[in-house]
C-alpha cells in the first residue's frame, strides 16, 4: 500500500483527461495538425487538404481529358480517311480507342499538376493559419505566391516572379471565398476546433468523475461489510477448518 500523497489526489483530474485550452505555441499547433486525436481521427484541416487535393485531381482530369478526347477523335477521323476498315464498327472502335488514349494522356497531365498545386497551396495557407491561430487574406496570398513561384522556378527568375504574382492574385479571391463560407457557417475552423476540444474535455472529465464515484461506492461497501462482522465470520470459518481432525496416514490405514 503506497504512502499518502504518492498518487494523484481525488480532487484533481488525471493527466489523460487533458485540458480544454488549445496548444500555446504555433509549433505545437502545427505538430498537432498531423497527428490523430483520442478518437484516432485527423484534424478537420488535414481532411480538408486531402479532399481539396482529390477534387483538384478530378477537376484537372476532366478539364484536360474531355477536350483531348474530342480533339484526338477528330484528328484520327481526319487522318484515317484513306484507311480501309473491315466494317463501320471497326472504324468507330478505332476512333474511340484513339479518343480514350488522348483522354488518359492529357487528363493525367492536367490532373497531377492541378492536384499538386492545390495540395501545396492548401498546406501552406493552412499551416500559416494554424501557426498564427487566425485566418487572414495574407495567408492565402503568401501561399499562392509560394506555389506559383515553385511551379515556375525551373524557367528562370523572371518566370518564377511572374508565377508568384499570378499565384498571389489567385490566392486572394480563393481565400476570400473560403472566409465567406466560414462566416456563413457562423464560426471559423479555429473556433470550431476550440469548441470541439472543450466538449471532448468536458466529456472525458464527466466520465472520470463517474468512475471516481463508482470507486468511492465500492470502497464504502467494503468498509461497511468489514464493519458488519464479515471479517470475524471468515476468521471463525478458518478456525473451524483448523480444528478438524487430521487425515490418517497411509501406514495407519494398512495397519
9, pLDDT greater than 50: no
Given a cut of 50, whether residue 103 has pLDDT beyond it is yes
Cell of 240: 473451524
Angle at 229 between CA 224 and CA 234, to 5 degrees: 115
Distance (Å, rounded) from C-alpha 220 to C-alpha 212? Answer: 12
130 phi-psi bin (left φ>0, alpha ψ -120 to 50, beta other): alpha
Please name the helix (run of DSSP H) or strand (run of DSSP E) that holds residue 217, with its range, or none. helix 189-227
Secondary structure element (H or E) that encloses residue 182, with its range: helix 157-185
Look at 18 and 104; give whichever has higher pLDDT. 104
Stretch (H or E) spanning 90: helix 88-132
State the pLDDT at residue 137.
Answer: 85
**Tens digit of pLDDT for each residue in 73-92?**
888 777 766 555 566 666 67
Q: pTM for this structure?
A: 0.64
Tell me the Cα Rg of the chain: 36
Instruction: Say what the pLDDT of residue 33 is.
Output: 76
Q: How far is Cα 202 from Cα 19, in angstroms, rounded to an integer?
A: 9
> Which position has the higher pLDDT, 234 or 200?
200
Share of the chain above pLDDT 70, in %: 67
pLDDT at 179: 82
Q: What is the pLDDT of residue 120?
A: 93
Instruction: Choose between 196 and 68: higher pLDDT.
Output: 68
Instruction: Evaluate whether 179 touches 125 at the Cβ level (below 8 Å).
Output: no
Q: Average pLDDT, stretch 232-244?
A: 67
Q: Where are the domains of the chain?
A: 43-186, 189-242
Whole-angstrom distance, CA of residue 113 vs CA of residue 104: 14
Q: How far apart are CA 215 and CA 7, in angstroms?
A: 15
pLDDT tens-digit readout, 167-177: 899 888 888 88
The answer to whether residues 193 and 23 touch, using CB atoms and an 8 Å cutoff, is no
d(CA 50, CA 32): 16
Which pLDDT band, with edges at 50, 70 and 90, does 180 fall under? confident
DSSP assignment letter at 154: G
Residue the block writes with cell 470502497 = 219
Query: Higher pLDDT residue, 183 or 110?
Result: 110
Quick one: CA dihedral 49, 53, 58, 60, positive or negative? Answer: positive
Amino acid at each position: 500500500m503506497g504512502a499518502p500523497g504518492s498518487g494523484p489526489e481525488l480532487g484533481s483530474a488525471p493527466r489523460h483527461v487533458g485540458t480544454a485550452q488549445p496548444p500555446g505555441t504555433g509549433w505545437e499547433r502545427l505538430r498537432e495538425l498531423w497527428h490523430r486525436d483520442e478518437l484516432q481521427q485527423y484534424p478537420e484541416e488535414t481532411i480538408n487538404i486531402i479532399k481539396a487535393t482529390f477534387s483538384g485531381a478530378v477537376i484537372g482530369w476532366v478539364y484536360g481529358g474531355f477536350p483531348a478526347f474530342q480533339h484526338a477523335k477528330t484528328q484520327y477521323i481526319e487522318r484515317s480517311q484513306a484507311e480501309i476498315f473491315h466494317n463501320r464498327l471497326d472504324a468507330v472502335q478505332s476512333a474511340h480507342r484513339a479518343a480514350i488514349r488522348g483522354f488518359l494522356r492529357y487528363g493525367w497531365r492536367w490532373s497531377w499538376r492541378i492536384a499538386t498545386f492545390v495540395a501545396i497551396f492548401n498546406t501552406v495557407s493552412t499551416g500559416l493559419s494554424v501557426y498564427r491561430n487566425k485566418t487572414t487574406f495574407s495567408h492565402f496570398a503568401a501561399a499562392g505566391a509560394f506555389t506559383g513561384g515553385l511551379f515556375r522556378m525551373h524557367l528562370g527568375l523572371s518566370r518564377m516572379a511572374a508565377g508568384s504574382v499570378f499565384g498571389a492574385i489567385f490566392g486572394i479571391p480563393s481565400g476570400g471565398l473560403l472566409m465567406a463560407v466560414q462566416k456563413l457557417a457562423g464560426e471559423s475552423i479555429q473556433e470550431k476546433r476550440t469548441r470541439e476540444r472543450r466538449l471532448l474535455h468536458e466529456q472525458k472529465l464527466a466520465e472520470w468523475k463517474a468512475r471516481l464515484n463508482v470507486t468511492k461506492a465500492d470502497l464504502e461497501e467494503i468498509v461497511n461489510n468489514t464493519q458488519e462482522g464479515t471479517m470475524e465470520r471468515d476468521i471463525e470459518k478458518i478456525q473451524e477448518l483448523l480444528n478438524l481432525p487430521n487425515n490418517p496416514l497411509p501406514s495407519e490405514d494398512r495397519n
